[in-house]
Structure 1
Amino acid sequence: MKISVREVLSLMIGLGGVALLASGIYHLLDVGTCGTGGPHVIARECPQGSGIWGVLLPIGLFLWFIGLFVSKQGLVKPGAGQIVWSALFAGGGFALLYLVLTQPDLGPGAELAAYIMAAVFLPLGVGIWIPSLLKLRRKPPGGPEAQTTEATVAGDRTAWMQQLHRLLGDEALTRAEFDRLARDPAGSGGRVALIQQLADLRASGLLSAEEFTAKKHTVLLGDSGRAAG
């Protein structure tokens, strides 16, 4: 399957936005609840530089939207758009659960926030693929390629039988020879073609009736090389 430039750009921009979002959320959860400035007493001051991580959230979200927009398939069909969508929601949900389970010393309020976000993110990330999986399950066993092959085989057999009937009508084959060849379509294709060539040579006067009959019998016996000579 050929991947278009738009799909590549969608992945690069969208996944880049997801990376920025993930970095921002991770550091904000690590900080937990805090405050800064104002006339009131602050129970917990935010660490220096915390504002930078907050800025990453809108930037990453913007790039993520751009990635979805660039994708040719969008969210309708499987492609870069659905991958970018799942990277944010499904990937983010699993990452949040992993963070909570492996780092029990998260900042105040961060653990509850991580559980809530994971409960929202995971269904959104996985649900986008459900329609595609249902369509795949309902797809008939023979796809377009298989149907095309079957149609080609059926068409070849029809043309081959028509050629056999022409040879019978031109008295190039006896009824017994016709029945013999018709019983073995797979093994008789080359012989029918050679007999047709011999019949054409007979019709043009290059072969006599006796020569045609002798060479035809050779073909029917399987020695096509000798018949052609």
Structure 2
Amino acid sequence: MTGRSRDALSIVLGAAGLLVLGFGLNQLANTGSCSSGGPYISTRSCPSGTWTMTYLLLAGTVAWVAGIAISRGGLNKGTGLWLWTVGFTALGLGAIIKAATQDSVPSDGRLGILIMGAVFIPVGLGLVTGNWLERRRSTAGTSVRASLGRLRSAGVLTRDEFARLKGMLADPGTEQRVAVLQHLAEDNARGLLTEAEFADRKRSALA
């Protein structure tokens, strides 16, 4: 199966699973707390169709997770990541809106779905936000590494200085140091700094 076919199947399976899961969850939210059977059960009996909705919820969850699993990127990127994000966020928002606006939700179930919604939204958004921040850090690291290479090629950095800064790429202040060195190199090239001034300021930036 090609990558595009996998992603297409992922979208179809995941979206169908979310629809079924959302439908089942919506119906069960109207049920509240209930129990079926047993001589010592004191809560109210579950209405007809509760088990059907429960099975639908489980089937939808399985289809949704399967859609994520077969995507090319899984939870790291692409279809799988967006199925995760849209699924949790949409279910969370739907739960909160339902609890806040619909009288069909019993009082004993309202708090439960509000909590579920409050948990689902950050779970959905947290993964995509974390991946985005990780890509930003990776891009920044690549950019700083390229800038270091240019400074070394231009003779602004000695071999030891280059090696030292390269070993500090993960440090938060390294990007700022490199930016300062680039600025100093540009000023020096335009004749705005004497060699002594350039050397002194470079030494301060590397300190």
Q: Please give the range of the TM-score, normalised by the shorter of the 2 chains.
A: 0.5 to 0.7
Q: Radius of gyration: which is bigger?
A: 1
Change (3 A) 1:105 1:69: closer
Task: Work out the CA distance in 1 between the residues paired with 2:85 and 2:28.
Answer: 22
Counterpart amino acid of 2:97? Y
Q: Report the Cα offset of residue 88 of structure 1.
A: 2.0
Partner of 1:18: 18
Residue 116 (str. 1) matches residue 109 (str. 2): no
Count of aligned pairs: 139
- C-alpha deviations, 1:112-139, integer Å up to 9, x for none? 1111111211111001111343356564
* Alpha-carbon distance in 2 for matches of 1:98, 1:136: 33
| Aligned equivalent of 2:165 | none
Match of 1:4 in 2: 4
Contact 1:36 1:42 in 2 (8 A): no
SS at match of 1:109: helix
TM-score, structure 2 normalization: 0.60
* Contact 2:96–2:118 under 8 Å retained in 1: no
Q: Deviations over 1:81-123 (max 9, x none)?
A: 0111012211111111111111144124211111111121111
Note the 1:191-202 alignment, pairs <5 A. Answer: none
Distance 1:69 1:43, change over 3 A: closer
Q: Which position in structure 2 is the counterpart of 1:76?
A: 76
Could you tell me which amino acid in structure 1 is paired with residue 81 of structure 2?
Q
Check whether the contact 2:24–2:54 (CA below 8 A) recurs between aligned residues. yes
Q: CA deviation at 1:35?
A: 1.8
Q: Paired residue for 1:103?
A: 102
Rounded to whole Å, the distance in 2 between the matches of 1:63 and 1:43 is 32
Structure 1 residues not aligned, in runs of 5+: 144-229
Q: Deviations over 1:25-78 (max 9, x none)?
A: 11111011112222135442211111100111221111112111110011112x
Q: 1:134, 1:105 → 2: CA distance?
A: 40
Q: Relative to structure 2, which stretch is displaced further, 20-29 or 42-51?
A: 42-51
Over aligned residues, Cα RMSD in angstroms?
2.3
Native 8 Å contact 2:21 2:60 kept in 1: yes
> How far apart in 1 are the matches of 2:25 and 2:130?
30
CA shift digits 1:172-226 (9 cap, x unpaired): xxxxxxxxxxxxxxxxxxxxxxxxxxxxxxxxxxxxxxxxxxxxxxxxxxxxxxx
- Alignment partners' CA distance in 2, 1:100 and 1:92: 12
Question: Would the aligned equivalents of 1:92 and 1:118 in 2 still touch at CA under 8 Å?
Answer: yes
Unaligned runs of at least 5 residues, structure 2: 144-207
